[in-house]
Structure 1
Amino acid sequence: MATAVVVGEKPPDAEASAQGDSHGTKRGRQASKKKVAKKALVLPTPMPPIGQKAFICEGTSCDLVRRVLTHWGWTESPVERPSACQLKWSLRCQRTFRSRDAEKSVLEPWQLINHFHGSYYLSNKAFLGQCLQSCSCCSSFFPRQYDLRDAFGMRCFLRDYVLTAAEQVLRSPAAKIPTSGGISPREVALRVLRRYKEWSKGHADHPERLLRCPHEIAALLGHGCLLPRKISVHQRIHVDVFLSRSMRSECPVCQEDPKPQSGDSHPLQQRYLDGPQNIWALKEPCVQKGKGVTILSGLAPLLEDYEQHRATGQGRDCVAQKYIERPLLVNQPHGPAKCDLRVWVLVLDWNPLTVFVHPEVYFRIATRPFQFDSMEPNAHKTNCRDTENRVPMKVLFESVGHGAAERWKTRTWPRLLDAVRASLFATQCTMASNRNTSAKAFELFGLDFGLDESWQPWLLEINTSPCMLDDCKGEYEEEIKAWAWEATESLLKLVLAFHDGSWKLPSYVELLQKSAEERSGQGGVERLFEEEVGRAEHSPCLGRMVRSVSPCLASGLSLEGPCGRWCLILREKVLDEMSLRQAHEALQRRIFQGVSARETSVSKLLREWLLPSEEEPISQAARRMSKTCPKMSLKRATSQPAALRTQTEGNSKLIFRAIPFKSGTLQL
């Protein structure tokens, strides 16, 4: 017999349960709710009905992917329901690499996501530089770079800057004119190169510091104190001692025998990067789209900008990368301008490493003429633009002149692909060890390359979420957007066919057999690494790994099927997980081999390199200087950094601060 329930009264079962709950505790009810929620999470997610395809796009920059999939008949699912889609395309935050939203997504093995776990590290300029500089072969395509976040990176940067300045002085015709102290810049440059050669041999009696008196610093780097303003205030006594000694005519260091050796040279020199200005680029490691990048000439402005980066806090440190001082210039209405390019790279898997590259790239031309006098950002950074500056590849070839397309095909393009392979080989152990096995993944990278006047490509950075060119405008808007549509559509077809098993890639052995049968191989193209570099005995060697790639992939291999215009450039064999883990640990040891607990602070390091004192111990000079200077005047000098403040007591003249200019460099 059915039980009647009166409206406004509780059913018997509900009343009994309510009475039971009244005797229970609140904590017990919350625990039961948590258990129910936990059980609901582990339930298997059902696949969507057959024939119904859905996707999720996060971010406004994914409009191109959204339009392509909608054109195919796919439906867009809400972001709150990631289990109801076959493909999730998320836009990783461009401002910081700490955005891990893609890794937090709980996806099923049959779903696809466009980010690998841990790939945000590749957009970190400091991490990328540490991976690439673990092998000397990378100096062929990666500008030398130093991480200024610790004293070891600052020490290496100062050494490189002084050696580069010495090389520039030797090439200058006016380097024989003596400066203060009766020593010429040429003599100082010869001494610097000789001292570095003696120090690099490992002799304990040869100190690392290359400049050893104020007169040598003035002859090579300019007059005055080069310390940043904040550090120079804290090191006031040492600055006063240094400036007082620069006024003396007698110096035992200047009177030593220079022993000129014309055969000595800068071992780290990169031919087309070094120029007459010794220009460097300071970059924030985790910022993209050209933000946080400063192009500077002169050691004092570089260190001052470095100090500003550290003063802002929030981890806004910087790396110093050598600037291309002899870039490829393109004739424009406003004058010759520099250019760079972006290439799209598709990684399907890290083990085995499987990589595709789209052969059509687009160039970015600076909106201001290239010159060193003004150092205007729009003249040296193509990301900074007041007008649209992205042009197709064929348009740039027409602007450069006859023979540009042939030089690109035989020299620049195969060397660029070798640089892409070496970069991915250098980071493979890290990416493969952090691989997420829960869902299938792929990733589109945007690699930025600069070109020097010999059409040699130089890798600048790797972008994890490249621009899909939806915001492109101007004269070539339709052409560039049509290219982006074709590249994105064929990319999605390739990824979907590869992961659902409807299309199979040739294996590593099959590609080697194809190269042996065709015997066409490289086809007269120029490779980045020479034969002797590829046969180097030391291991690991990125040059040797690149040379071992199947010759049929040298300029990219076009495959039939859903690839479209995408070309295969890497298809390696599967590596053992233990060997990858060991390679990752070895990479970490190489990264931290120069970082030691005994390493001095950056402030003390800059003082020892830029305020040398060899005549007497600095403590004695500081005590003598403190007795000479009244305390009140010393306090005013440290609190008020005036342009020029002197004090005369007896026959001694002490310079507290001087800011003269020499060759475009600000001296403090």
Structure 2
Amino acid sequence: VAWGSSLSSEEISRLKPSQKHNHLPGWDSLNNKATLGEVARTHSSRGSSLADNVPLTFVLPQHADELLAHHRRGGGPYIVKPVGGTRGKGIRLMTEVSDAFLKERRRLVVQQYIMNPHLLQGRKYDLRLYVAVTSSDPLRLYIHEQGYGRFCSEEYDLSRPQDLHITNSNFQKFHELYALSGSSSRTRPAGNKWHIDIIRREWEREGNRGVWERIKTAITKVFIMFKVLLKFSSRGVAASQSSCFSLFGIDVLLDDQLKPWLLELNSLPSTGTSSPLDIEVKTSVINDLLHLLGLV
């Protein structure tokens, strides 16, 4: 298995049947935060429902006028992300769209902030889930049953600074109440990360059934939305697709109506571990992926 930087088309064409590479040709474009928003906007403009689970997104500087118009109609607040940012770097909340901000002419993704998140124990959370894609034509994807929720350290309170409610661990780890899960136990919630099994039981305890199926449908719709782009990107190396695969980390937020919102796709999700929960989930994901690929 060649795991790491993308190989060239020529290198991929030389792979033997027993050799695998963790980048489907052309799919690295999905790691760019702007791509999801741009493709979703295209589908929305055509009346497609495939983009219904992607928050309204503006990519600057090209959508600066549209963002300003949306803000003047009462839109916002927004979450701002650098196009190529990772690990929470440069993420911030924005309530006002100023002329000075728009004149900076930087490549940024500005996404409608979901103000009404679903809460557990009064706290906002999002989900990190994993999807393996083994072919783009035909599209073949597998959604892993494991994952985890990333929780804010404080209860959700709109009167408090909104930065406190960014679920990214790189923000929360500086909070005095932040705590990694000390155990991978699936029987009780602990710390700022919960196993997906605990979260699913909490949904059912509240009488919310069918949430997991809705999430899987939303993820599938987004990958179908990308299918034309991905098919075009991998043209010319289709014969080598059987040697390639991609593993995606998907960030999902639920609103208070239990509607899933896909915030981000990461084609190079971290496989590092900082807690027993990380070890359990990520080991399972990688182990199952290698078996899925037929590697002994």
TM range (shorter): 0.7 to 0.9
Aligned residue for 1:324?
Answer: 114
1:88 to 2:2 alignment: yes
Seen in structure 2, the aligned counterparts of structure 1 residues 120 and 401 have a Cα distance that, compared at 3 Å, is closer
1:369 to 2:155 alignment: yes
Seen in structure 2, the aligned counterparts of structure 1 residues 327 and 467 have a Cα distance that, compared at 3 Å, is same
- One-letter amino acid of the counterpart of residue 293, structure 1: I
Equivalent pair of 1:295/1:377 in contact (CA under 8 Å): yes
Instruction: Choose which of 154, 160, 167 in structure 1 pairs with 2:64.
Output: 154
Aligned residue for 1:385?
Answer: 172
Q: SS of 1:358's equivalent?
A: strand
Instruction: Choose which of 195, 201, 224 in structure 2 pairs with 1:425.
Output: 224
Scaled by the length of structure 1, what TM-score is found?
A: 0.38
| Distance of 1:337 and 1:279 partners within structure 2 | 19
1:103 to 2:4 alignment: no
1:108 Cα offset (Å): 2.0
| Distance of 1:413 and 1:327 partners within structure 2 | 16
| Distance of 2:293 and 2:198 partners within structure 1 | 30
Moved more, 130-139 or 346-355: 130-139
Any idea what the Cα deviations from partners look like across 1:193-217, whole Å, max 9, x if unmatched?
xxxxxxxxxxxxxxxxxxxxxxxxx
1:347 Cα offset (Å): 0.5
Aligned residue for 2:187?
Answer: none
| Distance of 1:465 and 1:423 partners within structure 2 | 18
Unaligned runs of 5+ in 2: 181-191
Seen in structure 2, the aligned counterparts of structure 1 residues 119 and 403 have a Cα distance that, compared at 3 Å, is same
Instruction: Tell me: higher relative CO, structure 1 or 2? Use CA pairs within 8 A at least 6 residues apart.
Output: 2
| Distance of 1:307 and 1:138 partners within structure 2 | 33
Any idea what the Cα deviations from partners look like across 1:383-413, whole Å, max 9, x if unmatched?
3221332210233356x57624x62x51x22
Q: SS of 1:141's equivalent?
A: coil
More helix by share: 1
| Distance of 2:203 and 2:28 partners within structure 1 | 39
1:117 to 2:22 alignment: no
Equivalent pair of 2:137/2:231 in contact (CA under 8 Å): yes
Aligned residue for 1:345?
Answer: 131
Aligned residue for 1:483?
Answer: 281
| Distance of 2:50 and 2:129 partners within structure 1 | 19
Map 1:152-551 → 2, pairs under 5 A: 153-164=63-74, 278-300=76-98, 303-307=99-103, 310=105, 316-331=106-121, 336-383=122-169, 384-386=171-173, 387=178, 388=180, 389-397=192-200, 400=202, 403-404=205-206, 407=208, 409-410=209-210, 412-435=211-234, 436=237, 437-438=239-240, 440-468=243-271, 470-473=272-275, 477=276, 479-496=277-294
Equivalent pair of 1:367/1:382 in contact (CA under 8 Å): no
Equivalent pair of 2:247/2:267 in contact (CA under 8 Å): yes
| Distance of 1:422 and 1:397 partners within structure 2 | 21
Any idea what the Cα deviations from partners look like across 1:569-591, whole Å, max 9, x if unmatched?
xxxxxxxxxxxxxxxxxxxxxxx
Aligned residue for 1:143?
Answer: 55
Seen in structure 2, the aligned counterparts of structure 1 residues 330 and 487 have a Cα distance that, compared at 3 Å, is same
1:462 Cα offset (Å): 0.3
1:157 Cα offset (Å): 1.4
Aligned residue for 1:32?
Answer: none
Q: SS of 1:164's equivalent?
A: coil
Q: What percentage of aligned pairs have identical amino acids?
A: 22
Aligned residue for 2:36?
Answer: 128
Aligned residue for 2:185?
Answer: none
Equivalent pair of 2:147/2:281 in contact (CA under 8 Å): no
Aligned residue for 1:603?
Answer: none
Aligned residue for 2:188?
Answer: none
Any idea what the Cα deviations from partners look like across 1:561-620, whole Å, max 9, x if unmatched?
x9xxxxxxxxxxxxxxxxxxxxxxxxxxxxxxxxxxxxxxxxxxxxxxxxxxxxxxxxxx
Equivalent pair of 2:148/2:195 in contact (CA under 8 Å): yes
| Distance of 2:280 and 2:97 partners within structure 1 | 46
- One-letter amino acid of the counterpart of residue 28, structure 2: Y
| Distance of 1:105 and 1:325 partners within structure 2 | 47
Q: SS of 2:287's equivalent?
A: helix
1:484 Cα offset (Å): 2.4
RMSD: 2.5
- One-letter amino acid of the counterpart of residue 385, structure 1: Q
Map 1:550-561 → 2, pairs under 5 A: none
Equivalent pair of 1:290/1:381 in contact (CA under 8 Å): no
Seen in structure 2, the aligned counterparts of structure 1 residues 369 and 102 have a Cα distance that, compared at 3 Å, is farther
Equivalent pair of 1:89/1:114 in contact (CA under 8 Å): yes
- One-letter amino acid of the counterpart of residue 382, structure 1: N
Q: SS of 1:159's equivalent?
A: helix
Q: SS of 2:89's equivalent?
A: coil
| Distance of 2:216 and 2:200 partners within structure 1 | 19
Structure exhibiting the larger radius of gyration computed from Cα positions: 1
Scaled by the length of structure 2, what TM-score is found?
A: 0.81
Q: SS of 2:42's equivalent?
A: coil
1:442 Cα offset (Å): 0.5
- One-letter amino acid of the counterpart of residue 290, structure 1: G
Map 1:597-608 → 2, pairs under 5 A: none
Any idea what the Cα deviations from partners look like across 1:512-562, whole Å, max 9, x if unmatched?
xxxxxxxxxxxxxxxxxxxxxxxxxxxxxxxxxxxxxxxxxxxxxxxxxx9
| Distance of 1:157 and 1:105 partners within structure 2 | 41
Q: SS of 1:487's equivalent?
A: helix
Equivalent pair of 2:151/2:167 in contact (CA under 8 Å): no
Equivalent pair of 1:392/1:480 in contact (CA under 8 Å): no
Q: SS of 1:299's equivalent?
A: coil
Equivalent pair of 2:78/2:93 in contact (CA under 8 Å): yes
Equivalent pair of 1:281/1:296 in contact (CA under 8 Å): yes
Any idea what the Cα deviations from partners look like across 1:109-153, whole Å, max 9, x if unmatched?
422101012212112122221212222314521111112212xx1
1:288 Cα offset (Å): 2.5
1:419 Cα offset (Å): 1.6
Query: Number of paired residues?
Result: 268
Equivalent pair of 1:324/1:452 in contact (CA under 8 Å): yes
1:339 Cα offset (Å): 0.3
